[in-house]
Amino acid sequence: MKIKIKFIIIFVISISSKMTFAQSSKTGNWLIYFGNQPLNNKWNVWNEVQYRNYNFVGDLQQFLIRTGVGYNLSENNNNVLMGYAYVYSENYFDKSDVKLSSEEHRIYQQFLTRQNFTPFAIQHRYRIEERFIPGDFHIRFRYALSIQVPLNHSTLIKNTLYLSASNEIFIKTNSPNFDRDRIYLGLGYVINPIIRVEVGMMSQILEKNYRNQFQIAIFNSMPIKFNTGKNID
């Protein structure tokens, strides 16, 4: 098992490094923070920050902030959530060195459900986005399937190394309907019950081209606890 884990680590790092630092590749870097804070066994708050670059770092492509409030239809599962996202973009104009900035506001609704088939942890996410772009408005549908497989334990407990894979497809209501497809493979580590980190490669397939993204993500699930208001002697 140790030899298998070392081989996977070396493989992911070597592939990621080659794709990220190759000057001729279409590879960017995404630095991501995901926060899912339970308020109790029913309610949760979602918060997310993404810093996306055209290269490894320093050439901003997009800055995204997303937040939302969710409710579990069953205990710790089948979560419905509604939220808001702000997206600031800097896109290159007509294949030149000139960049044009833009801002976008989104309202979104999603349903997330999890399934566990030990050792596989499977998640389905369905999301609808109402996108307010300067001078325009779009509706987009997203479906993401993700799978996590622990390598050195049977479940994702403390000190677990795991593989993570996902595929997310984006469909627009306006033509052309296909927007993009994101295929991801990563390697993660559970530091403790509330913090885990993940590195991986994502290939984003667009209508006429594609981009590879090297990702570094931190996941935080620390609960938010409120003062009960009881008097303390």
Q: Could you report the per-residue pLDDT of 73-107, keeping only the tens digit for each?
A: 999 899 999 999 999 999 887 777 788 999 999 99
Most confident region among 26-30, 51-55, 118-122, 196-200 by mean pLDDT: 196-200
Question: Is 201 a member of any domain?
Answer: yes
Question: Is 219 a member of any domain?
Answer: no
Question: Is 158 a member of any domain?
Answer: yes
Count CA atoms within 13 Å of residue 133 on its CB side: 10
Cα 99 to chain centroid distance, Å, stands at 25
Instruction: Provide the β-strand partners of residue 211.
Output: 204
Question: Is 22 a member of any domain?
Answer: yes
Backbone angles phi, psi at 156, to 5 degrees: -85, 70
Check residues 222 and 228 and name the one with the higher pLDDT. Answer: 222
The vertex-117 CA angle with 115 and 121, nearest 5°, equals 55
Residues 6 or more apart whose Cβ sits within 8 Å of residue 194? 220, 221, 222, 223
Identify the residue whose tokens are 């998640």: 123
Q: Output the CA torsion sign for 65, 217, 192, 117.
A: positive
Question: Is 150 a member of any domain?
Answer: yes
Residues 6 or more apart whose Cβ sits within 8 Å of residue 32? 48, 49, 50, 51, 215, 216, 217, 218
Q: Characterize the bridge pairing of strands 210-220 and 27-38.
A: parallel
Q: How many domains does the chain have?
A: 1
Question: What pLDDT score was predicted for residue 22?
Answer: 37
Q: Rounded to an integer, what distance in angstroms lies between the CA atom of residue 59 and that of residue 125?
A: 30
Identify the residue whose tokens are 């001729």: 24
Average pLDDT of 214-225? 94
Backbone angles phi, psi at 208, to 5 degrees: -120, -5
Question: Is 228 a member of any domain?
Answer: no
* Boundaries of domain holding 26: 2-211
Question: Is 216 a member of any domain?
Answer: no
Question: Is 203 a member of any domain?
Answer: yes
Q: Is 90 exceeded by the pLDDT of residue 230? A: no
Question: What pLDDT score was predicted for residue 231?
Answer: 52
Does the predicted model carry a pTM greater than 0.75?
Answer: yes
Question: What pLDDT score was predicted for residue 207?
Answer: 84
